[in-house]
Amino acid sequence: MKKNLRLPHRKTTGYRLLPISLFTIMIAGSLLPKTSSAQIKDVPPDSIRYAGSVYQKTKPKPTYPKVVGYLSFILPLETLSAGKLTPNFSHHTSSIGFPVGVNVLYSERFGFSYELTPTIKASGGSSKVSNLLIDPGTMFRFDHGFTIITRLAFETAGRYGFTPVFNQVYARSKAVNYFVALSLPNRFGNNDPYSLGLNMQFGFTFN
């Protein structure tokens, strides 16, 4: 005849408490502070570490309209007129312009530029200010510092026309942005045939 063996009350109570103890240990372990690799690794300078996590810093958005000035110089490379191509440095004659202006930026994508360009012409061992160009224009701004500027052109020498400009920022600093530009001056008037030029411009804008 089989006998029913019963565990003592003390041991039965211990078995019942065992799952509760394990569950309590698991909960306590989950509440302990965790160390992660993000806490010991270096983070980029544009990030911050908070409560064991890494967050990206938010950059303040610029307010518009925004006004910036710029200085530059421009070199005429080639001029096509009456079917003849004339380089800038030919027949002991050369010209250099010094565009200065103000850009009024109305948004990240659009602005207006006011520019004045005095030109110095050297020829035959002498030099003089030969022309003053007034060329305002609209700015169409794109990503990565690229801008297309459509300028009107009015010269004190008597010529007029328009100039598309392709501008690219190639270096940035806290104080200034450096840019390079190619322009295609289209000119008419003053009893001269139509001309198309190719210019190279270098300069910087003040931030």
Cβ-proximal residues to 99 (8 Å cutoff; 6+ apart), any chain: 70, 72, 73, 74, 115, 116, 117, 201, 203
65 vs 128: CA distance, rounded Å = 38
pLDDT at residue 38 is higher than 50: no
Architecture of domain 66-206: Beta Barrel (2.40)
pLDDT of 206 reads: 96
State yes or no: pLDDT of 2 exceeds 80.
Answer: no
Sequence ranges of the domains in the chain: 9-56, 66-206
Are the beta carbons of 69 and 206 closer than 8 angstroms?
yes
**Cα→Cα distances 170→160, 173, 178, Å:** 30, 11, 6
> Does the pTM of the predicted model rise above 0.75?
no
pLDDT tens sequence across 108-134? 999 999 999 999 999 888 999 999 999
Residue 178 has pLDDT above 90, yes or no: yes
Q: What are phi and psi of 94, to 5 degrees?
A: -150, 155
- What pLDDT, in 10s, does the model give residues 56-101? 766 677 799 999 999 999 999 999 999 999 898 877 889 999 999 9
3 state DSSP class of 33? coil
What is d(CA 113, CA 101) in angstroms, rounded to the nearest whole number? 7
Mean pLDDT, the chain, as a whole number? 85
